[in-house]
Chains A and B, each alone.
Chain A
Amino acid sequence: MNRRLIAASAALASLALLVTGCGADTEAPTDTETTAGGTTAAETTPAGDTGSTEPKGELTLAGWSLNTTPEFQTLADGFNATNPEYTVTVSEYQAGNDYDTQMITDLAAGTAPDLYIMKNLVNFYTYAAGEQLVDVSDVAGTLDNESVSAYELDGATYAIPYRQDAWFLYYNIDLFEQAGVEVPDGSWTWDDYAAAATELSEKLEGDTKGAYTHSWQSVIQGFANAQSEGADVLSGEYDHLKPYYERALQMQADGAMEAYGTVTTNSLSYQSQFGTQKAAMLPMGSWYIATLVAQQASGEAEDFAWGIAPAPQFDESTAGTDNTPVTFGDPTGIGINPAIEDEKLDTAKAFLSYVASEEGAKALAGIGITPSVMSPEVTDLFFQLDGIAEDELSRWTFENRTVMPENSVSQHTAEINTLLGELHSAVLSDSEGIDAAIENAENRAKNEILNR
């Protein structure tokens, strides 16, 4: 036994030495500065154009989950087709919060790519205030793009948006017909929505619910903050949240939607709840359009007719197709790493102009992304996706909206967000009453965050 063990560990050791040896070989070329993304279609410059000059090198752009998120490569390809001095290549990062964890460490150590994405405005503040973004006010000045203003800090612009998601109301036309309830006509307030959800739950068979509210705090607070008169989370006043939470609690109690506890403990996904017809309505961001289309085509989602309607409104003053409904969504932007080599800066800025141009917008719309620039042509391209809703209201909804940024740009945003996230889960899980929760949040916001 003993001898066998020694022999075994010796074998293990030699194996280890062998593999470390191999490892050294394979690692050598990656030791260089470039955080090269492995899958690079951009390497191949468009052939045929004999007049084109050879690119001088690469500009790296951070992206995530490249297999399932084609937008980065689409932008890079579209830009590279114009024969810039430097070709844009995409480096792969992780999705979600991990993206920022990786980016913060990379920036801190000076190993970050030349161009990187601002997933939302909370993180934008971190990067801009940390002086990790080049001032791109000159690029912003040349653009006719509303979302650009979101990236201002102290009078300068630090990132350029290429994408502007917005929240809509998705509804299942088949289920509405089954229940004999009128489909949304674009004029709904939240009370109309709640009433319809309750009615649908009663009339639909089995466990099918009228609506599905995902567990994210945005689903309730995003609308409350965008639609309530004078609401500002940085003021430390949160009374405006009350009607929104009371309505949600009432809907839970009436069985008009799955309870928050059921959603979190069963890790329910909105794609599954809406896509497999467990719920007739779903307030969700515009990114879900492309997903739903793809899932219906692959059979992962069931086959049913659906449409999008404007998000329900606070009151009638903004509701209806003769108004512009108010909804929310943070832009997604791209910024330049100040560590970029000087000679590459102009190309990087040209890339930013491209991503926020109508040309870039068309490329994005073609793959189901809601671009930051809107035009009838962009909408046409978007609605050419196979299997997308074809009714008038869906098109109208896509085009006509006032999108309020979900987050404000401030040093307190992240902390306030955490605080309100705690309020969200405490209230919806019935662990704390809405009044007590609001008072608690207001005290903590003022004492520990805003007046620090």
Chain B
Amino acid sequence: MTENLVLKRIGKVLVYILLVAAALGILLPFYWMVMSSIKTNNEVFTVPIKWWPDIPQWQHYVEIFAKSDMTTWLKNTLLLSVVVTFMQVLTGSFAAYGFSKVRFPGRDVLFLAYIGTIAVPWQSYMIPQFRLLSDMGLANTLWSIIALQAFGAFGVFLMKQFFETIPEDLSEAARLDGLSEYGIYARIMMPLSVPAIASLTLLTFVTTWNDYLGPLIYLRNPDLWTIQLGLRTFVSQYDADYALIMTGAVLSTLPIAIIFLLGQRYFIEGIASTGLKG
């Protein structure tokens, strides 16, 4: 009996060692990114790899704000990410309710069209889309990115799948209580989908935050640039300022890491308090 306990404990310790090792391995590129941000340019790429700079160049973190428009880029990126996330969650979950709980002809075909567009690589319809948005006067404004990202099929698909896990009896009971479909959406479905909403919020936020190709195509005016686009100004035709690029990359990753660390408990605790008992 005690032997069994000891074995169990050893097993547990082993799992932890394994997990910690895996976590460190996973974080290695991030560590390299941080270290490169305090190296000189010619130290970044070497044979063999350098895990620590000769003289840490902390001043890069000051320089980047002086040398570039980092504050503007951060502001634009934050604005876009918040607006896009909010609209994607709102319109996505709303449409998802229509797809999952209301029956009407043509519903499944329409839904398939939604998924279908996910299957088309963006770079292949980028030009027709750009022409369209620029005819509407949206090119070279932040609205273009909002218009582009806020109505994505991703959120609709994700929320629909989660709504389907919620038992139909709950909505039936609510209907008998005289709640309208909109009421069911707002008072039953949304509160019960907290983990899904949390995931969608985070994933949309990260996608918009890290998007490069969208801003590349649509934003020309330097006042409108996002971080990912702005950091590319450290690349010129034949060489690049890698140390500053990595400094910017670290700075742009930090907000997301913090949001995630603070928000991750919702994925596990969200349901515990709302509960499925209704």
Point out residues on A near B: beta carbons under 8 Å. Answer: 1-2, 5, 12-13, 15-16, 19-20, 22-23, 26-27, 30-31, 35-39, 64-69, 91-96, 98, 101-102, 104-106, 108-111, 119, 207, 258, 262, 266-269, 271-272, 275-276, 278, 285, 287-288, 291, 295, 299-301
Contacts and interface: CB of A to CB of B under 8 A. Distances in A.
Given A300-B40, A301-B42, A26 B223 contact: yes
Lowest 6 A-B CB distances belong to which pairs? A38-B222, A1-B273, A272-B42, A65-B236, A109-B134, A16-B86
Nearest to A94: B232
Given A65-B233, A94-B229, A268-B45, A108 B238 contact: no
B38 to A, nearest CB: 14
Interface in B184-228: 191, 194, 216-217, 220-224
B223 A30 contact: yes
Nearest to B41: A300
A258 B235 contact: no
Contact of B234 (A26, A68, A207, A299): A68
A2 B236 contact: no
Contacts of A23: 79, 83, 142-143
B42 A65 contact: no
Nearest to B86: A16
A275 B79 contact: no
Given A38-B221, A271-B239, A13 B86 contact: yes
A68 B241 contact: yes
11 contacts: A5-B270, A12-B86, A65-B236, A94-B232, A95-B235, A98-B232, A105-B130, A207-B47, A266-B49, A272-B44, A295-B42
> Among the interface residues A5, A36, A108, which one has the most CB atoms of the partner chain B within 10 A?
A5
Interface residues of B, number: 55
B239 A36 contact: no
A2 B216 contact: no
A396 B59 CA distance: 41
A108 B82 contact: no
Contacts of A288: 238
B222 A96 contact: no
B220 A102 contact: yes
Given A13-B86, A68-B234, A108-B130, 6 more contacts: A39-B222, A111-B220, A266-B47, A272-B44, A291-B238, A291-B239
> Among the interface residues A37, A66, A67, A207, which one has the most CB atoms of the partner chain B within 10 A?
A67
Interface of B: 40-47, 49, 67-68, 78-79, 82-83, 86-87, 126-127, 130-131, 134-135, 137, 139-143, 146, 191, 194, 216-217, 220-224, 229, 232-239, 241-242, 266, 269-270, 273-274
A266 B221 contact: no
A404 B55 CA distance: 44
Nearest to A99: B237
A19 B273 contact: no
A31 to B, nearest CB: 6
A35 B220 contact: yes
B77 to A, nearest CB: 12
A1 B47 contact: no
A333 to B, nearest CB: 14
Given A16-B82, A95-B232, A287 B238 contact: yes
A269 B273 contact: no
Nearest to A16: B86
Nearest to A15: B82
B42 A271 contact: yes
A65 B142 contact: no
A65 B273 CA distance: 52
> Among the interface residues B191, B234, B235, which one has the most CB atoms of the partner chain A within 10 A?
B235
Contacts of A31: 137, 140-141
A229 to B, nearest CB: 30
Given A19-B82, A108-B131, A272 B229 contact: no
A37 B41 CA distance: 28
> Among the interface residues B78, B86, B269, which one has the most CB atoms of the partner chain A within 10 A?
B86
Contacts of A19: 78-79, 82-83
Contacts of A258: 47
Given A31-B141, A102-B216, A266-B47, A69 B237 contact: yes
A27 B147 CA distance: 14
Given A13-B86, A92-B222, A95-B236, A109 B45 contact: no
Nearest to A287: B238
Contacts of A69: 236-237
Contact of A268 (B47, B135, B137, B143): B47
A276 B131 contact: no
B134 A68 contact: no
A299 B151 CA distance: 50
Contacts of A93: 220
B221 A95 contact: no
Contacts of B42: 269, 271-272, 275-276, 295, 300-301
Given A16-B86, A295-B42, A119 B237 contact: yes
B131 A109 contact: yes
A136 to B, nearest CB: 23
B261 to A, nearest CB: 16
Contacts of A268: 45-47
A99 to B, nearest CB: 8
A274 B229 CA distance: 30
A36 to B, nearest CB: 6
A127 to B, nearest CB: 15
Nearest to B135: A109
Nearest to A271: B239
B221 A35 contact: yes
B126 to A, nearest CB: 7
Contacts of B223: 26, 30, 38
Contact of B140 (A35, A65, A104): A35
Contacts of A101: 216-217
Contacts of A26: 223
B25 to A, nearest CB: 18
A269 B45 contact: yes
Contacts of A35: 140, 220-221
A31 B223 CA distance: 12
Nearest to A4: B273
A157 B229 CA distance: 34
> Among the interface residues A13, A23, A39, A93, which one has the most CB atoms of the partner chain B within 10 A?
A23
B237 A65 contact: yes
